[in-house]
Amino acid sequence: MDPAIIAGIILLVGIVVLLALAVPIAVAVGFSSFIALAVVIGPEPASFVGAQRLFTGINSFTLLAIPFFILAGELMNTGGIAARLIDAAKVLAGRMPGSLAQTNVVANALFGSVSGAAVASAAAIGTVMGPRQREEGYTRSYSAAVNVASAPAGMLIPPSNTLIVYSLVSSTSIAALFMAGYGPGLLWALACIVVVLLYSRRHPGAGRTQRVPLGVAVRTLLKAVLPLLMIVIVIGGILTGVFTPTESAVIAVLYSFVLGLAYRQISLRQLPGILLNATRTTAIVMLLVGVSTIMAWVMSYSRIPQLISDGLLGVTESPTLILLMILLVLLAVGTFLDPTPAILIFTPIFLPVVVSFGIDPIHFGLIIVFALSLGTITPPVGNVLFVGARVAGLRVEPVIKALVPFFLALAIVLLVVTFVPQLSLWLPGAVGLLE
């Protein structure tokens, strides 16, 4: 048998088996890739080539943005920014039916827009909002579901680490991806708002409208100006060319740290713990990127992307059907793979196929991130789901049941984002970021 085919079989089977055995994703991908590489070029050359590919995969100036944005998210989570954003969200959503649940949705969108971290958002917002919602008659499972469903909006609304990873793999503009993320990200939040509205109409006793006095509202919104100003600084600086996306991440860290000190929520004693948490998360992401580079070489050598592309085109030449098949694959993959490794694995496979049909790579980036973000709220891996359930003090099962209406609404939005490309492309086109 052709060594390339054998390598491809070893790679795919190895990853599936190791994941089924609950081996960490980075280890599963790295070990399977190295064994497949050894079959192709021999054990000794494989050790050299594998190490070289691993280093090359993470030796990127663009990737420096990820650890800095992760650190900025840790600083925001500790520095009192979440509380101010929750209060601002309460002002914005207070007149809507089910105001506390709506506040949870808006707060997740706001926090995600300044941190880009869905898990951190679910933990920070859920810790504060869960007890308040239960006091107003919401069931614990429903309040947890609202928090879990709305937290991933931050993976689409910039700054977004998942969009940075996609930019690296697809060689597309980070600035264009960031601008394209606003439409799908806001639609994600809007879908959650609609579900909460419908729930509030069916359960009028759960959650009341809370009107905030004008004076209190003005003071509350003024307190949130500085945290939200970071979005203007980061995105505005990138668009105007004042600094690169990587440099903007450094500015986000400094800005978050200064705010935390000003709010007296961060002390120098806390810095080692904050840095350690950020380092752990960064190490996981970077190891995934490195081993995925080895895997990408093996996949290319084994012609796996070409075989999949030929297989899809052999079934149909309809762009609509091919996009639907890709969505089904991504939704299935998202149930057991985190978005970062899934983007690293499947972007090289599917991007050439969709580009051949004239689909813009920026638009496809939002499709793949949206679809995989749904995986973060679905079992068995869904990290946002498990964090949200843990914060609420619940098992996962009752939260999953309450999540079903949100998931259906978000699946509809995914189809809209997929087949209405202007929702993603209008804003980057308006500011001159599309070629």
Whether residue 204 is predicted with pLDDT greater than 70 in this model: the reply is: no
For residue 337, report the phi and psi dihedrals to the nearest 5 degrees: -125, 140
Q: What is the pLDDT of residue 263?
A: 85
- Considering the domain boundaries, does residue 435 fall inside one? no
Provide the residue range defining the domain that includes 10: 1-59
Whether residue 207 is predicted with pLDDT greater than 60 in this model: the reply is: no
Closest of 119, 121, 148, 144 to residue 131, by C-alpha? 144
Whether residue 224 is predicted with pLDDT greater than 60 in this model: the reply is: yes
Are 286 and 152 contained in the same domain? yes
Q: What is the pLDDT of residue 211?
A: 65
Number of domains forming the structure of the chain = 2
Q: How confident is the model at residue 191 (pLDDT cuts 50, 70, 90)?
A: very high
Q: How confident is the model at residue 210 (pLDDT cuts 50, 70, 90)?
A: low
Q: How confident is the model at residue 147 (pLDDT cuts 50, 70, 90)?
A: very high
Are 80 and 107 contained in the same domain? yes
- Which of 24, 44, 59 is where one domain is finished? 59
Q: What is the mean pLDDT of residues 243-257?
A: 87
Are 268 and 352 contained in the same domain? yes
pTM listed for this prediction: 0.82
- Write the pLDDT tens digit of every residue in 84-113: 888 888 787 767 777 788 888 988 888 877
The answer to whether 78 and 186 have CB atoms below 8 angstroms apart is no
Q: How confident is the model at residue 309 (pLDDT cuts 50, 70, 90)?
A: confident
Residue 356: partners with Cβ closer than 8 Å, 6 or more residues away: 309
Are 234 and 318 contained in the same domain? yes
Closest of 309, 375, 315, 307 to residue 341, by C-alpha? 375
Residue 19 CA: distances (Å) to CA of 119, 216, 380, 411: 22, 51, 12, 26
Are 135 and 78 contained in the same domain? yes
Whether residue 209 is predicted with pLDDT greater than 60 in this model: the reply is: no
